[in-house]
Amino acid sequence: MHKIGVIPGDGIGPEVVREARKVLDVICERKGIQLDFEEFPLGAAHYLKTGEVLSDETISRLEEKESILLGAMGDPRVSPGVLEKGVLLRLRFHFDQYVNLRPVKLFQGVPAALAGDRKIDMHFIRENTEDFYVGLGSRVRTGSSREQLKLIRETYEVKFDIGIDLKDTDELAYQIGIITRQGARRVIDYAFDLAKKKGADLVTSVDKANVLTEVYGLWREEVEKASSSYGIEKEFQYVDAVALHMVRNPERFKVLVTPNLFGDILTDLGAALQGGLGFAPSGNINPSGVSMFEPVHGSAPDIAGKGLANPVGAILSSALMLDTLGYKDAAHEMESAVMSVLSDGKHRTADVGGKMSTTAMGDAVLNALKSQ
């Protein structure tokens, strides 16, 4: 019995999670997989009613789970960042989900303006707990610039020979990116191990080492070591060059490993290549702990409750969850069902110009799975 926490969340989250659960139930019954679901009402409604974002008690209950299935987080009634940081980022950091795995695959029958008819099948492995998302930053205000810069230097041991002289009306904001050798090593090893399992002969490392030399210099050292250890070739690409190649020649990429910030940006470009955010799954993974799976799209409050959301990303995220739990055949059958539904070009939700409802798309995937 696998204990699974379910956080439907905000906006379209409950709608797409419902469809994913529907498909999960069928494949699990077929394969004899036992999943014990417990739902957690986290999100805007819970916060507005109780003033609580994510309690320590809820964290403790989630610690008992093997995986978490999440819909979406965010609501215009709540200030930006409250739910995203208070729930999403807190869970990622608390459970040390240091791998963000985002497959980017264009299925036949899905219109993709950037990709056309090209074959796209790549995996992004994004470092998920370090880089510029660690929250080290502040503002230096008028009147105490020299003292505050001195404090920054002493606190973070940063060389601040930048010659800044603040005027009376000036203000300086700064954010510090942190990469530890251990943090880089473990996610890079994960990427090379995944490449080995998938038979890929090249791993593309993404950085901006020509400008941010310290953090990404260390990153490159670990890529060199992993390449040698796994016997798999590596290439170093600057993030801007990767963005260019993803548009012009996306077939060249198979496995990419990226620091946190660049991975966040490039995988949204990847979603555009595969037809839109509605088709994009993701996993926040701790290989030896609690992992969390969610579609890449947000809560889309403007269409919530209208039956317009695309549930494919959520269905594929739940398949990714099964794959991580060790049920690769079940995950493959779920993906195959999605592929068969999309291949004729007739089953389309509103995000790609179609008229199918969220429930109808879920039912179509369900029927395809049953007919396999």
Catalytically active residues are: 133, 208, 240, 264, 268
Residue 102 forms beta bridges with which residues? 124
d(CA 317, CA 294): 6
Q: Alpha-carbon distance 20 to 18, whole Å?
A: 5
Comparing C-alpha atoms, which of 121, 116, 112 is closest to residue 276? 112
DSSP state, 88?
Answer: I
Residue in 55, 69, 64, 82 with CA at minimum distance from that of residue 9: 69
Distance (Å) of CA 72 to CA 52, 321, 331? 18, 16, 21
Amino acid 189 reads D
The neighbouring-strand residues paired with 67 are 4, 291
Whole-angstrom CA distances from 283 to 33, 170, 213, 316, 321 are 20, 42, 29, 10, 7
Task: With beta carbons less than 8 A apart as the criterion, state whether 313 and 277 touch.
Answer: yes
d(C-alpha 272, C-alpha 278), whole Å: 10
- Cβ–Cβ < 8 Å for 369, 334: yes
Contacts of 336 (CB under 8 A, 6+ apart): 372
In this structure, the dihedral spanned by the alpha carbons of residues 121, 5, 364 and 370, taken in order and rounded to 10 degrees, is 100
Residue 70 is inside which H or E element, if any? strand 67-72
SS3 of 277, please?
helix
**Residue 329's closest CA among 21, 33, 6, 2?**
33
